[in-house]
Amino acid sequence: MQKRTIKDIDVNGKRVFVRVDFNVPVKDGVVTDDTRIRAAIPTIRDLAGRGAKVILASHLGRPLKEKKKAEEAGKEFDAAKFSLAPVFARFNELVEGIEEIRETRFAVNCVGAEVSEAVNALGEGDVLLLENLRLHPGEEKNDPEFAKRLAALCDIYVNDAFGTAHRAHASTEGITHFVDTCVAGLLMEKELDYLGRVLGSPERPFVAILGGAKVSDKIPVIDSLIERKVDKLLIGGAMAYTFFKANGYTIGKSLVENDMLDRAKEIEARANSAGVELLLPTDHQVVDSVDPLNSQKTIPIDFTNAGHVGLDIGIETAAIFANALKGAKTLVWNGPMGMFEEKPFDQGTIAVAKAVAEATDNGAVSIVGGGDSVAAIKQARLEDHISHISTGGGATLEFLAGDVLPGVAALNDKNEAVV
């Protein structure tokens, strides 16, 4: 890891601003999935245990965009929906009993006199959660004035919000211009270590499984994987139909991106010349109608007729894909194999999840990224059989595509002089 981390610095008695990713789903004032809050706790615990005064900052949703939408529609904007107060409540439950973390408090804003006072009142080991950063237009605009105000709150900046690191916002990038010591948190370090392996020299065989709805979303990742000469590239999900159509198959009413047909051909040709084995489904689960779902059956791809809608890979494909993962040493998976939210079209995704877990148990390093793929892993209760479940969606894809993430680039390098 080339970036300095909290392990490299002394934080005792310092005001430490930690950009966390507490952008969690909240329903009726209650957090419905606390994965991201849990994921940030090791960093907070470590800092508090070493005597830091911890300031936590995060965004939640896109309040200003929603406000504009509401105004345009002549509806009332519900600002309470974008408060981090429910997150604070859940955070308190999660850290109860952690003795390194002393007092926890919630600030009604993220800048301003009241916030400065609350920061001044912090003791060593105390934690202050600031209110939603995106209630200020300066956050997403990466306004230097707003960044400066955030920077004024602290002595040290820590970024532990990998999921937002692909955005150059005031709290992820701008602030680093006004704070000397800018380092990665433990979650950020873990993400960069695991994902970095894929971009560095992955142990082989290296197999990637891609699925999901759109080829267009995943093109940079596919390009990067081919460039890195992944040994096998397995493509399932709706994405596969663009490849089938490009090759003249009948795909019925399955999802397809007609403007990506040439791109699909090009990807196939590039994979071919790079010696990458590209596997597409051989069979799939189809229906005659989506609403209501009916006449569900599994058929070979070339039996598809004009009325069929393909919603999942078939059992033969699931077996071929599972077999292709055997003996793999590095595995990357992004995107479900079908419309897994709807049973029985979760079968292909679950089968692949199980195969990834089994390969991991047999020694592969596995990385799963993408909101829906991670949801599928959790649904199958296989979290403990995956080496690394990435907390980033877009950030993970951009990183794996080889892009530099502004929130990461902005942190101090390991060899940079300590200020």
- Segment 325 to 364, residues that bind ligand ADP, using CB under 6 A: 334-336, 338-341
Binding site for Mg ion (CB under 5 A): 371-372
Nearest to 358, CA basis, from 382, 376, 381: 382
214 carries an active-site annotation = yes
- Residue 314 touching ligand ADP (CB under 6 A): no
> DSSP H helical segments within 178-238, as ranges?
186-199, 215-227
27 carries an active-site annotation = no
Rounded-to-integer distance, Cα 156 and Cα 406, Å: 18
Residue among 49, 371, 393, 402 flagged as catalytic = 371
Query: Smallest distance, Å, CB 42 to ligand ADP?
Result: 25
Binding partner selected for residue 85 from ligand ADP, Mg ion, none, CB under the kind-specific 5 to 8 Å limit: none
What are the φ and ψ backbone dihedral angles of 328, each rounded to 5 degrees?
Answer: -65, 145
Structure tokens at 81: 């929906």
Residue among 36, 53, 90, 167 flagged as catalytic = 36
Pick the closer one to ligand ADP by CB: 185 or 212: 212
Structure tokens at 185: 């948190």
* E-state strands within 177-276: 181-184, 206-210, 232-235
Binding partner selected for residue 311 from Mg ion, ligand ADP, none, CB under the kind-specific 5 to 8 Å limit: ligand ADP
Pick the closer one to ligand ADP by CB: 185 or 211: 211
- Residue 394 touching ligand ADP (CB under 6 A): no
166, 21 in Cβ contact below 8 A? no
Binding partner selected for residue 405 from ligand ADP, Mg ion, none, CB under the kind-specific 5 to 8 Å limit: none
Give the x/- contact pattern for ligand ADP in 270-309, rule: CB under 6 A: ----------------------------------------
Query: Smallest distance, Å, CB 321 to ligand ADP?
Result: 14
Query: Smallest distance, Å, CB 175 to Mg ion?
Result: 29
65 carries an active-site annotation = no
The H-or-E segment that residue 16 falls in is strand 15-19
Residue among 38, 62, 214, 354 flagged as catalytic = 214
Pick the closer one to Mg ion by CB: 173 or 372: 372
Residue with tokens 């082989």: 204
Rounded-to-integer distance, Cα 34 and Cα 46, Å: 20
Binding partner selected for residue 224 from ligand ADP, Mg ion, none, CB under the kind-specific 5 to 8 Å limit: none
The CA-to-CA distance between both ends of the chain, in Å, stands at 20
Query: Smallest distance, Å, CB 349 to ligand ADP?
Result: 8
- Segment 227 to 246, residues that bind ligand ADP, using CB under 6 A: 237-238
What are the φ and ψ backbone dihedral angles of 268, each rounded to 5 degrees?
Answer: -60, -45
From candidates 61, 252, 371, 402, binder to ligand ADP by CB under 6 A: 371
214, 202 in Cβ contact below 8 A? no
- Residue 217 touching ligand ADP (CB under 6 A): yes
Rounded-to-integer distance, Cα 344 and Cα 142, Å: 45
Pick the closer one to Mg ion by CB: 166 or 228: 166
| Cα separations in angstroms, 208 against 187, 189, 327, 329 | 23, 23, 13, 11
Rounded-to-integer distance, Cα 312 and Cα 283, Å: 9
Nearest to 346, CA basis, from 242, 244, 211: 211
Pick the closer one to Mg ion by CB: 49 or 371: 371
Site residues for ligand ADP per CB under 6 A: 211-213, 217, 237-238, 255, 310-311, 334-336, 338-341, 370-373
User: What residues are labeled active site?
Assistant: 36, 214, 371, 394
